[in-house]
């Protein structure tokens, strides 16, 4: 795209040179902090990082409804902006709907007629602006927040109003197309993962021979199984136990690499090159919870029951790695191959047993006895080997396809972010 014919120095590092006809104005002359309260009848809104300020009804995931009097909640109008507790990470949030939000948020309202809010919707989410926000952060660690009293002195780019509208229109159209492509690729990823799940379930519940004689498993939710297969509880095919090793480092204990909840939740395989945290453990803990090739680690505790018993397979020898808290170790015995049991744990039909048995309120957990009574299908070991080899080969193809789609999404999002930055800062000219 073309650039502007002439530029001038903005005298601000984060803006650099701006088009000659643009202004650089302190934010306090463009927006003001407003706090309108006493409107409890207005619709309750949520401030989100990815979707802006929207009605709570638009959010599918569970959210905690506020209790008590809503008189203290702040009114925010469509076109206003909210400074959230996470704005230093993701920028300011544009309001798409009139309503009320928590008094913890700062509401910014434009007070100049030469401001086009759609332009600032993109500016306030741009990479460069988010970088500038870091200069207005107050607090430390979990208490970080954006101080508008400091941010108000930051210089903002201000194109002529018609140009603001042109930039917003261009970005609405172009970003909309990019978002559509990303959504299509995300749908493709979901379909590929569903195909993998169906592949695993068919293999570990029916085997590879479609013409094999079947028999009643004796378990209603399992149904018929191949004639020579057995139904066995986890306690008869493995040694299973929860870990009690926390993340703390204590004196007089040995330093170890700790495999944590997120390491299991985000990875199918635990390998030695994973970036694991350093902690300490006692000699007894190291002896009991040291992870070996062939072990399986599952999530024992989680925020939701659907995330219970997510498995990861230890696919190679590890260096000084032990299993951490909120996880359980499953060590297959001579009756079952670890890779086969791992794939069975990935199967939703069997994994659902753990979800049903988990309990809790703010956090759900799986008891050891409940874990051990879970039932699985066990063919002869030779057949187990054939099944997992087939699953591994087919999964590799599907995983590669997923990776290609994920990499394409990353590139599209990077391009979108770069395009927004270039447009709102005047690095390229929108006709």
Residue by residue, DSSP assigns 358-418 as -EESSSEE--HHHHHT-EEEE--HHHHHHHHHHHHHHHHHHHHHHHHHHHHHHHHHHHHHH
CB distance 145 to 137 below 8 Å: yes
β-pairing, 359-360 vs 238-242, is unpaired
Tokens representing residue 373 in the block? 């009574």
Which residue has tokens 């948020």?
Answer: 105
Q: Which residues of the chain have pLDDT under 50?
A: 141
Measured between alpha carbons, how far is residue 50 from residues 44, 125, 144, 210 in Å?
18, 10, 19, 46
CATH number for 7-158 (one of 3.60.10.10, 3.30.70.2860, 3.90.220.20, 3.40.1390.10): it is 3.90.220.20
β-pairing, 254-259 vs 321-323, is parallel
Give me the pLDDT at residue 137, please.
80
Give me the pLDDT at residue 87, please.
87
Q: Where in the chain is the domain with CATH 3.90.220.20?
A: 7-158, 230-378
d(CA 6, CA 11): 16
> How many Å separate Cα 37 from the centre of its chain?
34
Which residue has tokens 């498993």?
Answer: 217
User: Which secondary-structure segment (H or E) carries 329?
Assistant: strand 327-332
Tokens representing residue 381 in the block? 């070991």
CB distance 128 to 99 below 8 Å: no
Three-state DSSP state, 270: strand
Measured between alpha carbons, how far is residue 1 from residues 20, 387, 406, 430 in Å?
18, 54, 27, 8
Check: pTM over 0.75? Answer yes or no: yes
Q: What is the CATH number of domain 230-378?
A: 3.90.220.20
Comparing CA positions, the residue from 314, 315, 303, 329 lying closest to residue 244 is 329
d(CA 347, CA 341): 10
Give me the pLDDT at residue 53, please.
94
Express each pLDDT in 334-389 by its tens digit: 999 999 999 999 999 999 999 888 887 668 899 999 999 999 999 999 999 999 99
Tokens representing residue 426 in the block? 């005047």
Give helix 161-206 / helix 338-346 axis angle, nearest 10°. Answer: 130
Please give the full DSSP string across 50-106, using - where no structure is assigned.
TTEEEEGGG--S--PPP-S--TTSEEE-TT-EEE-TTHHHH-PEEB-S-EEE-TTSE
């Amino acid at each position: 795209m073309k650039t502007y014919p002439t530029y001038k120095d903005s005298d601000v590092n984060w803006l650099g040179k701006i088009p000659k006809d643009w202004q650089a104005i302190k934010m306090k002359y463009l927006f003001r902090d407003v706090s309108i309260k006493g409107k409890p009848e207005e619709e309750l809104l949520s401030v989100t990082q990815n979707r802006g300020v929207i009605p709570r009804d638009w959010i599918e995931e569970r959210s905690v409804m506020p209790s008590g009097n809503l008189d203290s909640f702040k009114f925010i109008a469509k076109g206003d902006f909210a400074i959230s507790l996470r704005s230093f990470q993701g920028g300011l949030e544009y309001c798409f709907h009139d309503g009320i939000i928590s008094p913890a948020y700062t509401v910014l309202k434009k007070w100049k007629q030469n401001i086009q809010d759609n332009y600032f919707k993109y500016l306030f989410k741009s990479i460069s602006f988010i970088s500038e926000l870091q200069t207005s952060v107050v607090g430390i660690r979990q208490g970080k927040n954006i101080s508008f009293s400091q941010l108000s002195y930051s210089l903002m780019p201000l194109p002529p109003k018609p140009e603001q509208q042109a930039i917003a229109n261009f970005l609405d159209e172009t970003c909309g197309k990019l978002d559509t492509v990303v959504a299509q690729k995300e749908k493709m990823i979901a379909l590929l993962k569903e195909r993998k799940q169906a592949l695993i379930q068919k293999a570990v519940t029916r085997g590879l021979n479609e013409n094999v004689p079947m028999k009643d498993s004796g378990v209603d939710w399992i149904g018929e199984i191949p004639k020579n297969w057995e139904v066995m509880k986890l306690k008869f095919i493995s040694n299973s136990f929860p870990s009690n090793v926390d993340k703390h480092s204590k004196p007089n204990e040995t330093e170890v690499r700790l495999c944590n909840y997120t390491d299991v939740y985000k990875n199918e395989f635990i390998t030695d090159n994973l970036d694991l945290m350093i902690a300490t453990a006692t000699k007894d803990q190291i002896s009991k919870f040291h992870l070996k090739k062939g072990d399986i680690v599952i999530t024992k505790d989680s925020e939701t029951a659907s995330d219970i018993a997510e498995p990861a397979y230890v696919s190679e020898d590890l260096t000084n790695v032990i299993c951490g808290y909120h996880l359980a170790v499953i060590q297959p015995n001579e009756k079952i191959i670890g890779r086969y049991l791992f794939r069975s744990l990935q199967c939703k039909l069997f994994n659902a047993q753990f979800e049903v048995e988990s309990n809790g309120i703010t956090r759900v957990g799986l008891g050891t006895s409940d874990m051990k009574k879970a039932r699985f299908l066990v063919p002869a070991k030779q057949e187990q080997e054939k099944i997992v080899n087939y699953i591994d080969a087919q999964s590799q193809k599907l995983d590669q396809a997923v990776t290609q789609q994920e990499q394409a999404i990353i590139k599209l999002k990077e391009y979108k972010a770069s395009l927004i930055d270039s447009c709102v800062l005047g690095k390229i000219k929108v006709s």
